[in-house]
Structure 1
Amino acid sequence: MKFIDEAKIEVIAGDGGNGVASFCREKFRPFGGPDGGDGGKGGSIWAVADRNINTLVDYRFSKLHKARNGENGRGSDCYGKGADDIMLRMPVGTLIIDQNDGEIVADLTEHGQQVLLAKGGEGGWGNIHFKTSTNRAPRQKTEGKEGERRELRLELKVLADVGLLGMPNAGKSTFISAVSNARPKIADYPFTTLHPNLGMVRVSHEKSFVIADIPGLIEGAAEGAGLGIQFLRHLQRTRLLLHIVDLAPFDNVDPVKEAKAIVKELQKYDESLYDKPRWLVLNKLDMVPEGERKKRVKDFVKKFGWKGPAYEISALTREGCEELVQDIYNYLAEQKQMEQRVEAAPQMEEAARGINSIDPDDPRFKIID
């Protein structure tokens, strides 16, 4: 299926039904009074995150989603029936943005998450609500309210722990196929990858993480060169970036120049993405003679000015991949533990304040010898 990661839709909630002014006219009830019922509620439109959906292709061709209106009220105290809600199922990782003001309506990050996109109108009141001791035959009624209408832009940002970054034909697809269950297209020409690929990397039976491969970048991608930077959004949710560099390019280009061009395009696109933790992965060592490997790696790191973690691998022969995968998992585990401690800190402080506020003279607390 073709990968679709953007779509524009319009959602229109249903209008509420009108209330009715009616009077009881049954036999033997000459003073029956008002019996006009309320109108029904219009249908609302919800977004639901579904992990079984991978693309937004359904919304590329189905742009208008309209809920039914609520039924009008009727006499004999009959209330109008409310309309059913519409549930729009979207991939986990979908960002929903209001097309008019650019406001983020929702960010679907968990399976089963539900977000209200357009609220249905409330039904109008019938004249039974306006009866008083001085107004026994009210003719007032209210009309149902209009449902909300919104124009939305959907953007899919894949949820992955690790993102691959690099020039076309740097070996990203070969790497993700070597360490995960992903099977992307692999060929000996640039731009083999035309859409993001996700792979599950299983370190052990209970230890795993998700890795994402996006189409390669070239110099000038921010201006639309190559496939541009349209897929970089998929790296914004990752915790770690792997910058994969081809140490043995077939066209004899300078790997240092290409690596610096990638970093420059990354900074142009998003400063926060540029500031993400990034590891250097020097690939295709199997194409370099053993006697030249250390020197070529040392020269590249020096010219590139790299001071962070650097790994030497061959994705084709899987040399060095196991060590890299294990280090990635350990790093991600540490990051998750730090996030959990940060989230738990306010609760621990509140509990500590509660303990310090205990009155020792309170009869509920007594010392047991």
Structure 2
Amino acid sequence: RVPVGTQVRRVERDGTLTLVGDLDRPGKAILVARGGRGGLGNAAFATPTRRAPRFAQRGEPGEEWQLVLDLKLLADVGIVGMPNAGKSTLLAAVTAARPKIADYPFTTLEPELGVAEVDGREIVLADIPGLIEGAHRGRGLGLEFLRHVERTRVLVHLVDGARPDPVADMQTVNRELAEAPGDLPAKPQVVAINKIDLPEVRARLPALADAFRREGIETLPVSAATGEGTKELLRAVIRRLPPKEERETVEHEAMPAPIGPRFRVRRSDGLLEVEGREPVSLAYMMPLEDDEGRREFWRRMARMGVVRALRRAGARPGDRVRFGHVEVEWEG
């Protein structure tokens, strides 16, 4: 079991990553590796002349993959901004979440979630730790933070009204969002000027609002410390959220079954090698150390056409034939 919001990627043999599935809702399950088939018991190999065979098949080995699990939090709203802008204080003011709050940058080192209710509607908010210039290159754990913004629908961009140039701060954060993977700049933003409880911020509020307006941005004044303006902020956020039924859910199918020819024979490293799921699986499952089991194996290879293909490839008695990781002596 993994948290909702976990993406599962498979490490291919060439080192590339393939997305297997996205566990984006409770109860969703995906297949990441197939188990092997069970082996046949000795009764399956009985014949009129071999009433009680002394061998049975082993179970087929299952698939083994190295997986990368990447948690991307699921939230309606991401609260972004420079360090110490008051994001955690805002989350605590509008939800029951209790993130760590202190008067220094990078108090929040992991995203925090909270649920807010306004006008009878619930929304999930994520406090994304502060972004600094170079975050998209990993500065300040930026990539760790930015990946959690990907799933949000709306961004609350919180700017510190007590900083010398809040417009420049907003532009810095937006540049980092633009450089990050995904389509973060396309997400709707609600820009809020925080710390209006401070007299000096309240006094410069008209000038700050005008400065943002010249950039084509309307702002909302809030005080995360006192709660002033937070209801209006949440209502503005809800107006920008798409209805739940319109939200897209990307489905990823289970891993496709391998397809291709039943088998092929080729020379590799001086050996004859048989490739193909059926013959290789049978080599893993049959007890080749047992004389009866080995004879039964070659009988089945003959029925598949593998024996004929080996002869055409020039196999001679005593040659080693490789089936996956198993080597068998060709008995002609």
Residue 122 of structure 1 pairs with residue 42 of structure 2: no
Residue 221 of structure 1 pairs with residue 129 of structure 2: no
1:26-41 alignment runs, 5 A limit: none
Separation (CA, whole Å) in 1 of partners of 2:94 and 2:101: 15
Residue 267 of structure 1 pairs with residue 178 of structure 2: yes
User: Per-residue deviation at 1:291?
Assistant: 4.4
1:278-357 alignment runs, 5 A limit: 278-287=189-198, 288=200, 290-302=202-214, 305-307=215-217, 309-332=218-241, 334-339=242-247
The answer to whether the Cα contact below 8 Å between 1:208 and 1:329 also exists between their aligned partners in 2 is: no
Separation (CA, whole Å) in 2 of partners of 1:337 and 1:90: 25
Q: Encode CA deviations 1:267-305: one digit per residue, 9 max, x unaligned.
A: 111241221122211212222354432122112332xx2
Please report the TM-score for the alignment, with normalisation by the length of structure 2: 0.67
The answer to whether the Cα contact below 8 Å between 1:245 and 1:283 also exists between their aligned partners in 2 is: yes
- Alpha-carbon spacing, 1:98–1:337, altered in 2? closer, same or farther (3 Å): closer
Separation (CA, whole Å) in 1 of partners of 2:216 and 2:41: 74
Percent of pairs with identical residues: 44
Where 1:314 maps in the other structure, the secondary structure is coil
Where 2:73 maps in the other structure, the secondary structure is coil
The answer to whether the Cα contact below 8 Å between 1:217 and 1:229 also exists between their aligned partners in 2 is: no
The one of 242, 258, 261 equivalent to 2:156 is: 242
The answer to whether the Cα contact below 8 Å between 1:286 and 1:314 also exists between their aligned partners in 2 is: yes
The answer to whether the Cα contact below 8 Å between 2:92 and 2:98 also exists between their aligned partners in 1 is: yes
Q: What's 1:277 paired with? A: 188
Looking at secondary structure, tell me which structure has more helix per residue: 2
Separation (CA, whole Å) in 1 of partners of 2:123 and 2:172: 28
Separation (CA, whole Å) in 2 of partners of 1:227 and 1:146: 40
Separation (CA, whole Å) in 1 of partners of 2:212 and 2:235: 24
Residue 167 of structure 1 pairs with residue 82 of structure 2: yes
The amino acid across from 2:190 in the alignment is W
Unaligned 5+ runs, structure 2: 251-332
Separation (CA, whole Å) in 2 of partners of 1:201 and 1:289: 26
Separation (CA, whole Å) in 1 of partners of 2:133 and 2:148: 19
Q: What's 1:200 paired with? A: 115
The amino acid across from 1:165 in the alignment is V
Separation (CA, whole Å) in 1 of partners of 2:201 and 2:118: 30
The one of 180, 191, 202 equivalent to 2:106 is: 191
User: Per-residue deviation at 1:168?
Assistant: 0.1
The amino acid across from 1:322 in the alignment is K
The amino acid across from 2:147 in the alignment is R
Separation (CA, whole Å) in 2 of partners of 1:290 and 1:114: 51
The answer to whether the Cα contact below 8 Å between 2:84 and 2:130 also exists between their aligned partners in 1 is: yes
Where 1:317 maps in the other structure, the secondary structure is coil
The amino acid across from 2:85 in the alignment is A
Separation (CA, whole Å) in 1 of partners of 2:137 and 2:189: 24
Separation (CA, whole Å) in 2 of partners of 1:150 and 1:338: 35
- Alpha-carbon spacing, 1:256–1:229, altered in 2? closer, same or farther (3 Å): same
Where 1:177 maps in the other structure, the secondary structure is helix
Separation (CA, whole Å) in 1 of partners of 2:181 and 2:5: 19
- Alpha-carbon spacing, 1:248–1:289, altered in 2? closer, same or farther (3 Å): closer
Separation (CA, whole Å) in 2 of partners of 1:241 and 1:185: 21
Separation (CA, whole Å) in 2 of partners of 1:197 and 1:118: 32
Where 2:231 maps in the other structure, the secondary structure is helix
The answer to whether the Cα contact below 8 Å between 1:166 and 1:244 also exists between their aligned partners in 2 is: yes
User: Per-residue deviation at 1:201?
Assistant: 0.4
The amino acid across from 1:336 in the alignment is K
Aligned length: 245
The answer to whether the Cα contact below 8 Å between 1:280 and 1:311 also exists between their aligned partners in 2 is: yes
The one of 90, 108, 123 equivalent to 2:23 is: 108
- Alpha-carbon spacing, 1:255–1:292, altered in 2? closer, same or farther (3 Å): closer
Where 2:30 maps in the other structure, the secondary structure is strand
Separation (CA, whole Å) in 1 of partners of 2:35 and 2:153: 39
Q: Encode CA deviations 1:169-221: one digit per residue, 9 max, x unaligned.
A: 111111111111111111111111111100110225x5211000011011122
Separation (CA, whole Å) in 1 of partners of 2:91 and 2:189: 17
Where 2:183 maps in the other structure, the secondary structure is helix
